Amino acid sequence: MDIEAIKQEVLRAEDELLSKLRSGDIWGGVAMHLDAPEYHNIWNGEDKSHTMLRARIEKGLEMGLASFDYQVSARDFLFIDNSNVLETLTAVPVTVLETGERIPDGQTMISILWRKLDGAWRLAYLHASELPKE
């Protein structure tokens, strides 16, 4: 297993995801999430299936969601095998509205299970929790 090559592939996939989300291509970002029964997106204790994620994004767009961003301050990887990588981030997610208003969350720990399927890296599982404020 070439860990450095796999790490670079995952980082490119994450860059692609962030590029889509930052540019307002929210549906392009959602398409990078695995659309399968085993997919989970858990954010601050709320577990969403892929269908639920799509419904939440649709509602957000109707209410003026323009884009998403997050600034990473720390990152670590666990290489399970050639096609499964667990990435753990410390980041500050930001929601951007059509008005230009930027709404930051607090510092958040995010774990993403990246799975390589048919040559493409997909978010197969995401768990995020905002860190306690000191």
| Contact assessment for residue 100 and residue 71, using Cβ atoms and an 8 Å cutoff | no
What does the pLDDT read at residue 99?
96
Residue 40, token pair as written in the block: 């989970």
Backbone angles phi, psi at 54, to 5 degrees: -60, -40
Q: For residue 25, how many other CB atoms are within 10 A of its CB?
A: 14
What are the residue boundaries of the structural domains of the chain, listed by start? 3-130
Q: What would the pLDDT profile of 57-115 be if each residue is shown by its tens digit?
A: 999 999 999 999 988 999 999 999 999 999 999 999 999 999 999 999 999 999 999 99
CATH architecture label of 3-130:
Roll (3.10)
